[in-house]
Amino acid sequence: MRTRNLGKTPLEVPVITLGGNVFGWTLDERESLRILDAAVDAGLNFIDTADLYSRWVPGHTGGESETIIGKWLQATGKRNRVILATKVGLDMGDGKVGLSAAYIAQEVEDSLRRLQTDHIDLYQSHKADPTTPIEETLRAFERLIQQGKVRYIGASNYDGAQLREAQETARQNHLTGYCALQPHYNLLEREPYESDLAPVVAEYGLGVLPYYSLAAGFLTGKYRKPEDVKGARAGSVSKYVNERGLSILKALDEVAAEWSATPAQVALAWLIARPGITSAIASATRTEHIHDLVGAAELNLDETDMEKLDRASQQVVAA
Catalytic residues: 53
Cis peptide bond prior to 226, omega within 30° of 0: no
Could you give the CA distance from residue 234 to residue 25 in angstroms, rounded to a whole number?
A: 14
How would you list the strands of the sheet with 150-156, edge to edge?
207-208, 180-182, 150-156, 120-125, 83-88, 46-48, 16-19, 280-282
Rg (C-alpha) for the chain, rounded Å, is: 19
Closest listed residue to residue 219, CA positions, set 282, 151, 300, 297: 282
Strands 120-125 and 150-156 turn out to be: parallel
Could you give the CA distance from residue 47 to residue 86 in angstroms, rounded to a whole number?
A: 8
What is the enclosing helix (H) or strand (E) of 39? helix 29-41
CA dihedral 152, 157, 162, 163 (to 10 degrees): 40
Say how many C-beta atoms besides its own lie within 10 A of residue 50's C-beta: 24
Q: What three-state secondary structure class fits 27?
A: strand
* Residue 122, Ramachandran bin (φ over 0: left; ψ between -120 and 50: alpha; else beta): beta
- Rounded to the nearest 10 degrees, the angle between the axes of helix 243-259 and helix 303-313 is 170
